[in-house]
Amino acid sequence: MTNGTARVAMISGANRGIGAAIARQLAATGWQLSLGVRDPSRMTASGAELVQRFDALDGTEAEWVDATMARFGRIDAVINNAGMMIAKSVIEADDDDLMTLFRVNVQSPLRLVRAAWPHLAASGAGRVITVASLSGKRVKSAKSSLYAVTKFAAVALGHAIRQSGWEMGIRSTVLCPGFVATDMARGLTTFPAEAMTQPEDLARIVSLVLDLPNTASVAELAINAILEESF
């Protein structure tokens, strides 16, 4: 808690998978939530949170921040979870494919953090979590290579935010999971879902990172369900 009231977290892509699990975890630990989703009509809101239509391709990040401030009067954390994959190699993909992925995976998270920046700074313990991928640390296949280009950029973005906000008490952490049991991962591999990292696992990690003091900041976490040479 800060200033005697519940902290407020903005979570993009909160309607399913990792984002929904993070929302459930934070709600259970006393956070107030501003949930950015593409289709609010599909959300079952309790009334205790704000559900805002948000599409990373629309450029409405500032509007969502304004709505969050109007509802809660503060923003303590931004969780950039919304993401997109186009399963093409860098040779197969055209410029539109690259720019679409870049807008969703890099540009929109940056715009959201920029819009929320003064409010994160005002808290004295602002937090930014970027859900990237192990594809932002290595390129495993041609079909994931275009996605990897943007996730490498997302990892760099998280570290750039960390450098920019340190003196204001803003701490930035990048999460780099491998296969997580979500709809996207199930469509990419025959690896059994029950053996993948579960969304709830990542949600617990997010909760832990958000609760760490400014003096125990974690820059990056690589999380995997299988053994790899480097991860």
Burial 127-159 (b: 16+ CB within 10 A, else e): bbbbbbbbbbbebeeeebbbbbbbbbbbbebbe
3-class SS of residue 12: strand
Is residue 54 within 8 Å of 112, Cβ to Cβ? no
Closest listed residue to residue 152, CA positions, set 131, 137, 172, 173 = 137
Block residue for tokens 């410029």: 95
Residues classed as catalytic: 147
- Which residues are bridge partners to 12 per DSSP? 36
Strand order in the sheet with 8-12: 50-53, 32-37, 8-12, 77-80, 127-131, 171-177, 220-223
